[in-house]
Structure formats: structure tokens, C-alpha cells
Structure 1
Amino acid sequence: MIAQQRFYLLSFTNSMFEKAMSTFSEKVESLIQSEKPDLKKAEDGISLCIETLSKLQKKVEQEDFEDAQEEIDFFKNIKPFPMSYLIYFSEVRTCELMLPKAGNSNKVRFLKKEMKKINKFFTVNSSFVSYMEQGRTYLDHQFFSRNARPDFSFSPSINYYINPEFSTSHDMLWAKVQALYRYIHYIREKSERIEPGSSGSYRERQPNVLVWSGAKISLVEMIYSLYHAGDINHGTVDLKTLFSVFEDIFNIKFDNYYKNYGEMKARKDPRAKYLYKIASILETKMREDDEK
């Protein structure tokens, strides 16, 4: 899996893109967590994404890349991060504007049609999605290099960034894949707010009854660890979505996980004490198994 897809800041600590990506990540997370209406979030998000992509494009034009691998890394892991949010926020904006104004059943029906469109997209692009989800790299030189691009495989409605020097054949397709993962969650949440229970048909198999019986802050610790590891949805999932998923799984409500994170940071070492605890338990169990 593509564990580094958390826009690869960890592997780009010396990159010329680090500052722009770090700033974007903080701003987009703050926007998603805000209490603004969805339409306003989408409009502000579009502006933020365009601003960030413009900065990236200027850097590429001014400095370009040291070698082919850095170019591939940029178009596979850096540019698609803000680009995916641009596509996501654009989809949300369109949905908010087109959503029927009256009748909950009409609204839910519209959202179901949106989900069908998403499913069709993933079906049409199943080979590419499989390639990316399995962490393959053998075609990266074709998909994410400008020199290997005979034509564009994907023509998004957002064509502002189809620039020969700032696009490859598949970077925007990969961005749209990531965007639609987020959009699926948006549709689920929107449907649930309109008509509780209506999003059930969108879910994969859910466990029957699971209850988190430990301390809530321990679960918060685990979720933050998963988020920063970047191992879910190729690292594209945002904190709000991740916490919502765990709320669904364990029938629990997180009141203020940002405050919980501050409490964890204020601890004396080890600050991730629950993770240390369960890691120690697992290590002990495996040693016991070895001794048998």
C-alpha cells in the first residue's frame, strides 16, 4: 500500500515543496474542522487549492527537478494532494448548488445518483486504481513523467492545470481517485443528516456490535497514530473523516479530539503511553509463544 501518500512530507523534509505543502495541510485541516456551511467550506477550499497549486507551478517553472525520480515523486505524491482537494471541493460545491431544495426523498435520491457516478468512475478506471492501491511502481515513469506523455488519459472538468510543464498523463487522474474517496464520505454524511439511516446502503459490511471499553483518550491516541502513519486511503483521509469512521464502528462520540491531543502532548514521556502499552503486551505474547 502507499503508506507515504500523506503527501510525502516525511520523505521530502529537504524538498523545495515542503513549506507550501505544510502550510496547505494545516489550512485545509482547519477549514474542514470549521463550523462553516458546506458550500462556504467548498468555496474557500477551492481558493486555497488554486493558490497552493499556483505556488507549486511557479516553483517547478523556476527550479524544475534534479532528476527523473524527483519529477515522478512530485507528480505522484506532491501535486495530487492539493489537486485532489480542488476536485473534492469542486464536487462538493456542485452538489450543494444542485441538491434539490425541497423534499428529503428528492435530496437522498440525488445523492444516490452521485454515488452511482462515483462507482462508474472507479469501474472505468479499475486497472489504474488497482495499480496505485497495490503500491506498484513499474509504470510510474509513464504515468508521472512529463517526457513519457503522448496524450492525456483523463480530461477533468477542472482544466486550469492542464499545462504541459505542470501535468503528466495520470497525475490528475490519481488526484481524482483521492478526491472521490473523500466525496464518498461527504455523501454519506450529507445523506445521514437529511434522512437518518439513509446512508446504510453506502456502507460496506459493518461489525454487529463493537464497544470501546477502554479510555476514550486511548482510542484518540490510536486514531492520531493511524492518521500520521498515512496507511488509510493512501494517506488522503482527513482527521474528521477518520474520527467519524471510528465513531460508527464503536458507537462512540468524540467531543473534542483536538483538546485530547493537547492533553497527550502535555504528558511526560512516553506521551503515546497507550501505544507503548499495547506494543509491550504484543511483544510479551510473542515471546511467550516462542518459548512454548
Structure 2
Amino acid sequence: MKHSLHTIILEIHNKEDKISAQSERLIDEAYQMTLYLQDLLFSVKEHVIKTGFKNDEEEIQFFRTIKPQILGKLIYYNKVYRIETTCPVSNGKMYYSYFSNQLASLKREYIEHICNSDFYRYYRSGRTDRDHTYFKRGNINYHDGLNSIVFEIDPEFSTFYDYKTARIIANELLYSYLITKINPDEHPDAILQKPESSKDIFWTDSKNALIELIYSLYASGAISHGKIGVRKISLMFQILFGITLGDLHHAFHRMKTRSGSRTAFLDQLKTSLEEYMDKDL
């Protein structure tokens, strides 16, 4: 099969970068990515139905890893578009309340429909012993009392559990997105809390410098082989340093259009490291 997990992730990341460079608002980016991912999913579906799979292993890999990456991102961007287009204000208490309610709704869905399921524990543990049951077509067990979405899927292009995997991926992305929308500096009960072991670790440069570092790590694929998004990387740094970065998308757009070097912080890092190396000479 011509599609691999690496090429699919790379293709989606490249498209995200291109659309991000052309879009000034997250709403526009989410809308364009929804259209792109919908077309990508359709073209992959055509290929699968026309060509099929060489063996069981190829089929399992597709429904366990490849399709969920596309569908998960599609669910995510579609939800972001819906959230952004119904947000009543651009800041203030109502803004915080709106995104807090969205986060609470996501948590309820996670608790009620995802985290307590046998499949979720199976997927999270990295097990593969039941992959032939979960990720091969034609094995849906209706005795399990499955969600009614199972009756709407195309049995030629779904095992049902590929959809559940995609929802897990989408929910993780949505969680990171909603966290960055909430400002913990203004609301002490917000979720971003520094671990006790890192209370003495602080980011002492500008927020823009940290955003520049985050995007460079994302663009290079240096973290988890490029398999996690920029917002999840951002969340890691925000928790580590106890800092709120706000709207990454707008900050990055300003970075791309600023005068002088667009990578000022990375340039300074290189200079500082070279000067430190020279001290030992």
C-alpha cells in the first residue's frame, strides 16, 4: 500500500504549516484543514476499496495507525471550527467561561464514553494481542452494545475501532487546544499546575522566545518523531515552566512577519552555545 504512517503524518504536517502561513485566524485554518482532511480521507478510502490489502498485517496497520491519524485530525479541526465560530467574545470572563465549559464537556465525554472502556485500556497499554479482532474488517461484535455510530460506518472502510482510536486522538488534541485558551494567571483553579519537583524552574526569556523554540522543535520533528502537534508540545512547556502562552497561532503569525530575523531567539541560542564552546579552547 502506498500510504504509510510516516508519509501520512508528514503530509498532514506540511499542509498544516502551509495553511497556517496563509491564514491569519484559527477559524480559517481549522476550516481549510477540515476540507483538506476530508478530501484526503476520501482519496485514501477510494484506494483501499479499489486495491485492498496485501495481507492481514497491512490491514491491521492501516486501521490501527493510518486511518485514525487522518480521521482524528479531521474530527479535531472540525470541532475547533465549531467552537471558534460560536465563541461569543474575544476575551474577558465570558471568554474564559465559554472555553471552561467546552473543557468540562470534553472531560464528561472522556469519562462517560472513553476512559472506562476495555478498548481504551487495551489501546493505552500498547497491547496487540487482540488487533485481529479490533482492526480487521468484518469482526464487529454487536453483543457488546456498541455506540449507534456503528450502524452508520462503511464496513468496507472501517472496523469501528479505528473510529474509536480516532476519537481518542481527537480528544487529546482538543484537550491541549482548550487548555491553551484558558489563562491560569487570571484563574487560580485552572488546570495548568507546575509539578512540585519543578517549582524552582522558570522561563526567564520572553514568551515569544519560548514559542519560537516550540515551533522549531515541532517543525524539525525532534519530539516523538514528529507525531505530536505543536499545541501538545506547547502544553508540556507551559506545565514545566508554569507559564501561559495564549494564542500560539497568532503569535506564530506575528513571528513570521516581524522585521529583522524571524528566528532571533534561535540565532541567539546558536551564538551563545558557540561562545560557550570557545571558552574551553
1:166 matches 2:157: yes
Match of 1:56 in 2: 44
2:140 to 131, 134, 149: 149
Cα pair distance change 1:220/1:184, threshold 3 Å: closer
CA distance in 1, matches of 2:175, 2:214: 24
CA distance in 2, matches of 1:226, 1:185: 19
Report the 3-state secondary structure (helix = DSSP H, G, I; strand = E; otherwise coil) of the residue aligned with 2:121.
helix
Note if contact 1:32-1:41 (Cα within 8 Å) is conserved in structure 2.
Answer: yes
Match of 1:91 in 2: 79
Match of 1:182 in 2: 173
Cα pair distance change 1:29/1:129, threshold 3 Å: farther
Matching of residues 193-272 of structure 1 within 5 Å: 197-198=186-187, 201-206=190-195, 207-211=198-202, 224=220, 226-229=222-225, 235=227, 237-243=228-234, 245-246=236-237, 248-250=239-241, 259=263
Cα pair distance change 1:225/1:166, threshold 3 Å: closer
CA shift, 1:143, in A, is 1.7
Match of 2:249 in 1: none
Gaps of 5+ in 1: 1-14, 267-272, 274-292
Cα pair distance change 1:33/1:118, threshold 3 Å: farther
Question: What TM-score, normalized by structure 1, do the two folds share?
Answer: 0.67
Cα pair distance change 1:88/1:218, threshold 3 Å: closer
Matching of residues 25-174 of structure 1 within 5 Å: 25-32=13-20, 35-101=23-89, 104-124=92-112, 125-126=114-115, 127=117, 128-151=119-142, 153-154=146-147, 162-174=153-165
Question: What TM-score, normalized by structure 2, do the two folds share?
Answer: 0.70
CA distance in 2, matches of 1:67, 1:245: 39
Percent identical residues:
20
CA distance in 1, matches of 2:39, 2:60: 22
Note if contact 2:192-2:242 (Cα within 8 Å) is conserved in structure 1.
Answer: no
Report the 3-state secondary structure (helix = DSSP H, G, I; strand = E; otherwise coil) of the residue aligned with 2:223.
helix
CA RMSD, 1 decimal: 4.0
Cα pair distance change 1:95/1:56, threshold 3 Å: same
